[in-house]
Amino acid sequence: MKEKTYQDPEIGNVRLVKSARGRRISIRVHPLKGVTVSVPYYSRYDDGMRFFVQKREWVKEVLRRQQEKAEAAEKSGGAVGTLRDGVTVRTLLSEIHFVRSRAGGFSHADGQYVRNAAPAGAGGPGRQPDGVSGRTISISSVLVEDVSRTGRLFLSPFMPLSRKEVSYPDTMPPEGSAELSSALGQALVKILRDEARTLLPQKLAFFARRYGFSYGKVFIKHNSTNWGSCSARGNINLNLNLVRLPEPVCDYVILHELCHLRHPDHGPGFHALLENLCADNMKRLSLLVDGMYESCLSAGDARSGAEASVEYFRGLVSAMRRSRAKFPVHHVLEQEVRKYRLV
């Protein structure tokens, strides 16, 4: 596949890609991959440029609408915006804070990398390079709640088990720059991967035992297009971003992939099975939510997190009762997944 890049003064990079399978010129505007003009192999790049110029205002309007959706998603917690000083990202296991260290205490580590050996949710510092010599990013963690002692079984982004700090020195690139965002993004992905490897295989095994599924291997992936998949060999692939979803929604994706072990397609049998399993899981979670709320009524800070968790869960239940879809439980949960953007 051959391609050229045009730098538009307002839009930025526009990729002109020649495709052997393309029969006409087309434009794709992707929120992450940018603007791509597909040109049939027998056509000239100039033909693609003329088509882009004709559609330039349309492209700008699409980008504007995508930006509005992205900003709304960031406010609701469904998307992670530009990573910078003061930004907080919540997962089912932790609350992650990004902090620029004015002291510059890590500016002379010369790219050393110390792997964080502590499990997700536990204390323990870690460092990783940002790809620039003499600059390192520090990841530290403080345990907030030990669930082995409190007995809480319901996980919620509003009730973190640990607080993690991603600290970077003042010698790093300026806030909002692509270089800084990329470096902090790598640190975030590392945290998400560690947490996903801790949590998701346990959840998958629990649901497989509960509902009588047998699967092959489980892989934690960093995909940019899907939340999970099931292979013909019975292997389950789960996106590390699943730990950013509320527990009922995270469970929905896992159950979705397990159902594909019996129904490879999305036919009536698949939807009926997924609906039954999701409805049963919502009943299970409802008991856990009620028990958590009762135990947190007099727990100070934990009470506000419990109230937010209960409010969200009851909102889901209410939407399911109001839904006129044939499979209301799985329909509402599917709509919730679509509110989140992969990082």
pLDDT classification of 300: cutoffs 50, 70, 90 = low
Residue 67 has pLDDT above 50, yes or no: yes
Q: pLDDT at position 269, please?
A: 97
Q: pLDDT at position 15, please?
A: 92
Which of 45-49, 176-180, 215-219 has the least mean pLDDT?
176-180
pLDDT classification of 245: cutoffs 50, 70, 90 = very high
Q: What CATH number belongs to 201-337?
A: 3.30.2010.10
Rounded to an integer, the average pLDDT of 45-61 is 94
Q: pLDDT at position 135, please?
A: 61
Residue 119 has pLDDT above 80, yes or no: no
**What is the token pair recorded at 272?**
């009926």
pLDDT classification of 295: cutoffs 50, 70, 90 = confident
E strand or H helix that includes residue 71 = helix 56-76
Residue 129 has pLDDT above 70, yes or no: no
Residue 256 has pLDDT above 60, yes or no: yes
pLDDT classification of 1: cutoffs 50, 70, 90 = low
Residue 121 has pLDDT above 50, yes or no: no
Rounded to an integer, the average pLDDT of 282-309 is 83
- Its pTM stands at 0.76
| Percent of the chain residues past pLDDT 70, beyond the cut | 87
Pairing of strands 126-129, 136-143: antiparallel
Averaged confidence pLDDT in the chain: 87
Q: At what angle do helices 301-322 and 328-337 cross, to 10 degrees?
A: 130
Environment class of residue 251 by beta-carbon count within 10 Å: exposed (0-12), middle (13-18) or buried (19+)?
buried
Q: pLDDT at position 104, please?
A: 41
pLDDT classification of 32: cutoffs 50, 70, 90 = low
Q: pLDDT at position 265, please?
A: 95
Residue 77 has pLDDT above 90, yes or no: no
Q: pLDDT at position 302, please?
A: 67
> DSSP string covering 271-299, please?
HHHHHHHHHHHHHHHHHHHHHHHHHHTTS
**What is the token pair recorded at 342?**
């992969």
Q: pLDDT at position 103, please?
A: 58
* Angle in degrees, CA 74, 80, 86, rounded to 5: 90
Q: pLDDT at position 34, please?
A: 83
| Percent of the chain residues past pLDDT 90, beyond the cut | 68
The DSSP symbol for 114 reads B
Residue 28 has pLDDT above 80, yes or no: yes
Dmax over Cα atoms in the chain, in whole Å?
Answer: 71
Q: Which residue in 152, 250, 162 sits closest to 206, CA to CA?
A: 250
Pairing of strands 94-101, 162-169: parallel
pLDDT classification of 23: cutoffs 50, 70, 90 = confident
Q: In the chain, where are the structural domains located?
A: 2-76, 88-194, 201-337
Residue 88 has pLDDT above 90, yes or no: yes
Q: pLDDT at position 123, please?
A: 41
